[in-house]
Structure 1
Amino acid sequence: MKVDEITLYLRNHASDKFKQNVVKLGIPEEHTFGVPTPELRKLAKKLPKEKAFLIELWSTNYHECKILSVLALEPNECTEADINMLMDGIISWDLCDLFCKTILIKRPDFDQNITKWISSDQLFYKRAAFSLIASTSTHAALTIDEIKAYLELIANYSEDERLLVKKAASWALRELGKTSEASKELSVLTAKTMLKQASKAKQWVAKDALKELETLVAVSGRTRLISSKSAMGKQVNAISEK
């Protein structure tokens, strides 16, 4: 399979309607075909796993090719130079989060990226730090001390006014809160402390996170808390009220 064969396949499976959705993410129109993600996931399973080939595919600069590369790359084969190169090529939140959840979180050194990037001025490096915190809580059994450390990072570094950063910080705060009843209490406390601070960005993150944090409930058979406003959460409430 060659790169030009893949781009031809993408052109043949493109949709003008979906292309406009991609453009709304901030991707230049000339850098996207407009292929839905489910189709990309099917194609990614057929791709050669050679890193050089996947880096070449990434280098076409097409959004869909970058997604395919991230889906097919082996996390532990990526060097620090590879990661920096890939991060520098990210210009949308969806690719940033996919890279975090598919590649970075599966590497043993993922935590180093959180501490290194969370103070960055570069938009997607900073978003990636918060995205990794959010992903960490679903990929590992965190101790209370680890949760406290992540909550401290959120509280200290969520002063950024950029919406894509604020949304990621809120996401991280909410995901940590879903880990357990104890983590929920800690996350709510962190959010309420942030509400009292002068930073408008921190206040925004706190208010946004509390909308879900304060609705979280435990459900039998599930390891993580869920919102009482979700379909399953409503069922739990209905049963408890009987």
Structure 2
Amino acid sequence: MAMTKDEIIEYLNEIKSDKFRKNIIKLGIPEEKSIGVSTGEIRKLARKIKIDHHLAEELWVAGYHEARLLSILIMDESKVSLNYVSQLMKDVMSWDLCDHICKNLIIKMPSYEELIFDWCCDHRVYYKRAAFSLIASTMIHKKEIEKDEVNRYIDIIRECGDDSRNHVKKAVSWALREIGKKDFDCQEQAIQLAYEFIEGSQKNLNWIGKNALKELETLVSVKERGRLLSSNSKMGKRIQKDT
């Protein structure tokens, strides 16, 4: 499905919703950069357009939040360098676009782990969030993860996790929880770090430890899943009921 950048922006304005626009503005996106289209609709459009790197670059420059979400989905990762995505991050103004880039583009790139180490102590809020979002995404999507890699991520959380900004704190907690879901050994390791944070004197780490522990201590093993999941989830509740 061939569409120009202008045709796409016009189409997005045709299907926009005041409800979604209000939600986008709440994320911190300026009104003039918000159209009001759900991510689900953006994904449907991306599947129709398919990969088009030139169009992706045009959509990113257009500046609209939804155009940038679409841009990432149709971008050709083979034409993207680590320096390129680092430049894209300068334009990020919300946690959802930050995570979207991490989960749908960066994690597909070779050597992306370099960015975790480059950004984990960055002073810029979304660069730092991206480091922990990448850890979480790695734990979710990477099938084979060596123990040494897990230990590196634990060390990053311990050394760089202390941050008062909500969008960073929540990403640190998310990363710790996803580490714990790998297997029971990792669960124990993540719980130990959570208690270390809770028992320490740093208020931000206290919060992260308590927040992560809410899920870490509920994890159970399910045959249908390669990773642990919360007993409070729908599948977890169903398994408990069946047993």
Q: TM-score range by the shorter chain?
A: over 0.9
Distance 1:115 1:145 in 2: 15
Structure 2 residues without counterparts, runs of 5 or longer = none
Q: Could you say which residue in structure 2 is the equivalent of 1:89?
A: 91
Q: 1:238 and 2:241 equivalent?
A: yes
Q: Could you say which residue in structure 1 is the equivalent of 2:174?
A: 171
CA shift for structure 1 position 236: 2.6
Residues 157, 172 of structure 2: 8 Å contact kept? yes
After TM superposition, what 4+ stretches of structure 1 lie above 3 angstroms from structure 2? none
TM-score (norm 2): 0.95
Distance 1:239 1:15 in 2: 42
Distance 1:81 1:171 in 2: 25
Instruction: Write out aligned runs for 1:99-114 (5 A).
Output: 99-114=101-116
CA shift for structure 1 position 74: 1.8
Say which of 32, 42, 46 aligns to 1:40: 42
CA shift for structure 1 position 48: 5.9
Residues 148, 186 of structure 1: 8 Å contact kept? no
Instruction: Write out aligned runs for 1:1-242 (5 A).
Output: 1-47=3-49, 49-140=51-142, 141-240=144-243
TM-score (norm 1): 0.95
SS in 1 for 2:201: coil
Residues 178, 225 of structure 1: 8 Å contact kept? yes
Moved more, 147-156 or 46-55: 46-55
Residues 219, 229 of structure 2: 8 Å contact kept? yes
CA shift for structure 1 position 109: 1.2
Q: What's the % identity of the aligned pairs?
A: 44
Distance 1:82 1:56 in 2: 15
Distance 1:122 1:190 in 2: 25
SS in 1 for 2:49: coil
Matching residue's letter, 1:101: K
Distance 2:187 2:50 in 1: 43
Residues 19, 35 of structure 1: 8 Å contact kept? yes
CA shift for structure 1 position 82: 2.0
SS in 1 for 2:68: helix
Residues 17, 36 of structure 2: 8 Å contact kept? yes
Distance 2:182 2:85 in 1: 28
Residues 15, 35 of structure 1: 8 Å contact kept? yes
Residues 25, 92 of structure 1: 8 Å contact kept? yes
Distance 2:9 2:84 in 1: 22
**Number of residues of Structure 1 aligned to a counterpart in Structure 2:** 240
CA shift for structure 1 position 151: 0.9
Distance 1:220 1:46, change over 3 A: closer
CA shift for structure 1 position 142: 1.2
Structure 1 residues without counterparts, runs of 5 or longer = none
Matching residue's letter, 1:60: A
Q: Deviations over 1:174-221 (max 9, x none)?
A: 001000011100110111111122211111111000000000011123
